[in-house]
Amino acid sequence: MALNGNSDTSGYNSVILNTTKLPVADYIKAVMPPIGSILPWHKSLTGCPSLPDGWEECDGTQISDSDSPYDGEYLPDLNTDIETAQGGRFLRGATTSGTLQASQNALHEHTYDHLDNTDGIDSLNQRDAIDGAGWTISASSGGDEARPNNIWMVMIMRIK
């Protein structure tokens, strides 16, 4: 069994055998993420090795691996360039999996009150009712989307 793409596991095996008292294959199965797990992978980090057998990038392609229970299924597309397409999704916990949700902001409103009370009129609504001026106040800042601070990572899935 290969670890991190390396078929020589002898040094790792001796550490496992000396600390766990389990056969190596049983220990590795116990600590491996289950098939279907999706994890972030820092693919672009200098020196990052290739994905080990059994892992694929979540790029929306069809799985073609007869040893995988997902053979013929499509990987979720979680890595599409978010600058140009609908992809690059945040993962969210739920009791079921696979549902895609579009970006959404909660319904909200902004109220602006007239703060210069030199004429005794305190709000935009009062002023509009009196003189029909139809004030428009707009304020904007930010970019094209709502998002928290983040780092781009390549999402991968264990397929076998």
Percent helix, strand and coil across the chain, each rounded to 5?
15, 10, 70
Assess if residue 134 is contained within a domain. Answer: no
* CATH number reported for the structural domain that contains residue 75 in this entry: 3.90.1340
Say whether both 77 and 154 belong to one domain. Answer: yes
Q: Which of 45-59, 60-74, 84-98, 146-160 has the lowest mean pLDDT?
A: 84-98
Computed over every residue of the chain, the mean pLDDT equals 73
Domain count, the chain: 2
d(C-alpha 135, C-alpha 127), whole Å: 9
Say whether both 43 and 65 belong to one domain. Answer: yes
The pLDDT value given to residue 159: 97
- In the numeric block, the tokens 């289950």 are attached to 34
